[in-house]
Amino acid sequence: MSKIFILGGTGFLGYYTTKELLKSGYEVKTMSLPPMPTKDLLPNGVECSLGNINELSDEEIIALLSDCDGFIYAAGADERTVPKKPAMKFFYEMNVVPTQRLARLSRLAGLKKFVIFNSYFAEFTERLPEFELRKQGYPNNRLLQEQVAFAEGEGEMTVCSIRLPYIFGTMPGREPLWTMFVDQARGKDLFPAPAGGTAMVTVEQVAEAALGALENGEHRGTYPICALNMSYKDFYTMIVEALGQSETTQVPVLTYEQMKPAYEAIDQEADANGVEHGIHMAVSGKLQSIDLFIDPEETRHVLNIQEHDVVESIKETLERCVK
């Protein structure tokens, strides 16, 4: 039996990954920022400590990891964060610097596997060079996060990355991030949708992908995952239905050109306030005008991702948001 360390084991992704590893016979050790979402969140037998791992010394971290065989990095800042300018520096310090350090210390502690939970924006930065996403703080540093971890593991530790799309599911003690979408539609006559669409998975599939990456992932492997591709129009319609507003709220599809002035105004307001989006809204809006779709078969068999009812998971998630 192997022991896996999960950074962020009490978070949404870490919680489900913990359960998946335990089900597969692994032991789990985790460290997360306080407080615990609920008192009895994690099963008995999980070694859980609360605190900021970045405040520990190198020696303390190596000692913490010394009895582990693998590391799952389920932490960091995502694109919803709007930091002080420049965003490039913020996401470098939040996602790249700690990942490089923990990958290096994991290797020194003798770990053999290191898995990063990353973003599908890293995937589309490579697939869609015409959008010049490398100039944007968030995707640029998501790619750099992978590269520094790969370099730290070279020759001694297998390091790979799972590139995550929209994720649905619920957990005890935490509000789904989709609540912000539901609140935007609540009581509105119009809830305009972008013209494109997005890849989606359930949180259980993320956990299965993490296990698959530990067991089958190759060094420098990047694995975009998907179980269902859906238009924003269909997703927004599900939000309206969850709110019971099907008869009162219309979901028109607007083109990028129609929405561009609003996006640019948000960017200008952010700039005036000294903050910056990790992906500028004008760029993010343009991305949402196309289909950010992923073929599920690209990685499903490699990572042994199982079939789940994504639509039902979306409904359950939205129901929790409404309540």
Question: Do residues 228 and 310 lie in contact, with contact meaning Cβ atoms separated by under 8 Å?
Answer: yes
User: Tokens in use for 186?
Assistant: 């609540």
- Asked if the model's pLDDT at residue 1 lies above 70, the reply is no
CA dist 95 and 75 (Å) reads: 8
Residue pLDDT, tens place only, 262-285: 999 999 999 999 999 999 999 999
Residue pLDDT, tens place only, 210-228: 999 999 999 999 999 999 9
Residue pLDDT, tens place only, 157-203: 999 999 999 999 999 999 999 999 999 999 999 999 999 999 999 99
Q: Which of 39-48, 252-261, 286-295 has the lowest mean pLDDT?
A: 39-48
| Beta pairing partners, 3 | 27
Cis peptide before 35 (omega within 30 of 0): yes
Q: What percent of the chain has pLDDT over 70?
A: 100
**Range 306-312 average pLDDT:** 98
Residue pLDDT, tens place only, 73-112: 999 999 999 999 999 999 999 999 999 999 999 999 999 9
Give the orientation angle of helix 58-65 with respect to helix 97-108, to 10 degrees.
60
CA dist 91 and 202 (Å) reads: 26
**Range 58-64 average pLDDT:** 98
CA dist 321 and 185 (Å) reads: 12
